[in-house]
Amino acid sequence: MEAGNVARDPVPIEPKMLLELYRRMVLVRMAETIHKEMLDRQEFYLMGHFGTGQEAVGIGMTAALLPTDYLFATHRGIAEFVGKGMSQEDIWAEYYCRSVGPAKGKGGLHLSDYKVGLVGLVGSLGADYSIAVGAALSSKIQKDGRVTLYSFGEGTSSQSDFGSTLNAAALWKLPLVFGMANNQWCEFAHYSDHVATGDVAPRAEGYGIPWSIADGQDVAAAYAATQEAVDRARRGEGPSFVEFKTYRAGPHFSGEPGAYMAEEDLCRWRERDPLLVAEQRLLAEGVATRDEMDKIAEAARAEVTSAVERARSLPDVTYEEMISGVYAGEVK
């Protein structure tokens, strides 16, 4: 799929929902912008793997989930965490490693928040393939009606457990949705250096899993494609695989210039920036005015800023806190 102003039929979505998803995307963009500014000012230790340009995928996917559903999210930006309901306060408490965070500040960048179904972000790519299978299997065994969404990047589709995971999901008809953001980059290399085929989703076919490819710049499209897969899973009809075509409109991480990316590609994709796409539709359909959008941005800035300020003002973990919590219960 190419970027640019391709004429498309707009994917149906409730105006209110579109506005809410827009708000979430703005919040994500704001949080990452502020994060980046802090890094530029050398005020913060934690490198960012920002998801700029990909917000529609994370926000669209998670909009199809219930709060009780499980999500295995990625390192690429915080859209999924925001979409799943993790608050800015909790995110920043963890980022600053403060004991008030949901993981007592032990997670750091490895965000987890069990009250909203965020099971944990692993640092070794693909380590969570099988963990997600376990979570979905758990729901099947417990008949709790939950769906597990496994989110990953196209580069991670090369990792060991990928095929085994598709096989297990299909074998047991698990309520597991694969949401793959194909952002065309794997660190400093184009994905054609990593993946044998242009599309990854058709691999699902061979494992007996239905698949689709969705526009990752349009939050309504990402939402709709995921919803279809989630509904199928919820009906007990097993896994589905959705590939979102998108583009990492920035470097791999905050510490590198991304010099290997062609400026014209970046420009082309920025024309279809997911916030822009949503804004145009909100305006065109008369759902929101520019003024209302500015208010959304202001509110987002306030929300992020206050969460950052709070986290920053809290004390570092103590040695006692650091050393404890390896085991559940008391171990001598």
Partner 1 sequence: MAEIPFTAALNRAMAEEMKQDERVVVLGEDVRAGFFGATSGLVDIFGPERVLNTPIWESGIAGMALGLAVTGLRPVAELMFADFFYLAADEIANQMASWHYVTGGQTPVPIVVRTAAGGGFAIGYNHSQCTEASFLNPPGLKIVAPSTAHDAYGLLKSAIRDDNPVLFIEHKLLYGVPGEVPDEEYLIPLGEAAVRREGKDVTVLAWSTMVGKALQASEELEKQGVSVEVIDARTLVPLDEATLLASVAKTGRLVTVEEGRKRGGVGAEIAATVMEKAFGSLKAPVVRVAAPNIPVPSGPAAEAMHVPSVPSIIGGVRTALA
Ligand X SMILES: Cc1ncc(C[n+]2csc(CCOP(=O)(O)OP(=O)(O)O)c2C)c(N)n1
The amino acid sitting at 48 is G
CA dihedral 191, 195, 201, 203 (to 10 degrees): 180
Residue 282: closest CA among 15, 50, 38 = 15
With binding defined as CB under 8 A, does residue 219 bind partner 1? no
Region binding ligand X by CB under 6 A among candidate stretches 1-9, 128-136, 151-159, 199-207: 151-159
Residue from 100, 130, 161, 187 that binds ligand X (CB under 6 A)?
A: 187
Report, in angstroms and rounded to the nearest whole number, the Rg of the chain calculated over CA atoms.
19
The amino acid sitting at 104 is K
Instruction: Copy the structure tokens of residue 203.
Output: 């691999």
∠ CA 294-298-299, nearest 5°, is 115
Contacts with partner 1, 82-101, as mask; x by CB under 8 A: --------------xx---x
Q: Which residues contact 131 (CB under 8 A, 6 or more apart)?
A: 72, 119, 120, 122
Measured from the CB atom, is 106 or 281 closer to partner 1? 106
User: Closest approach of Cβ 170 to a copy of itself, in Å?
Assistant: 4
Measured from the CB atom, is 83 or 216 closer to Mg ion? 216
With binding defined as CB under 6 A, does residue 242 bind ligand X? no
Are 66 and 285 a contacting pair, CB within 8 Å? no
For 25, half-sphere exposure in the C-beta direction (CA atoms, 13 angstrom radius) is 32
Residue from 24, 75, 84, 106 that binds ligand X (CB under 6 A)?
A: 75
Which residues in the 148-167 window bind Mg ion by CB under 5 A?
Answer: 153-155
**Among a copy of itself, partner 1, ligand X, none, partner that 246 touches (CB below 5 to 8 angstroms by kind):** none
User: Closest approach of Cβ 123 to ligand X, in Å?
Assistant: 6
Q: Quick count: other Cβ atoms within 10 Å of Cβ 180?
A: 26
Contacts with ligand X, 15-54, as mask; x by CB under 6 A: ----------------------------------------
**Among Mg ion, ligand X, a copy of itself, none, partner that 206 touches (CB below 5 to 8 angstroms by kind):** a copy of itself
User: Closest approach of Cβ 152 to ligand X, in Å?
Assistant: 6
Phi, psi of 148 (to 5 degrees): -105, 130
Residue at shortest CB range from ligand X: 153
CA 63 to CA 83: how far, in whole Å? 6
Which residues are near ligand X by CB under 6 A?
A: 74-76, 123-125, 152-156, 183, 185-187, 248
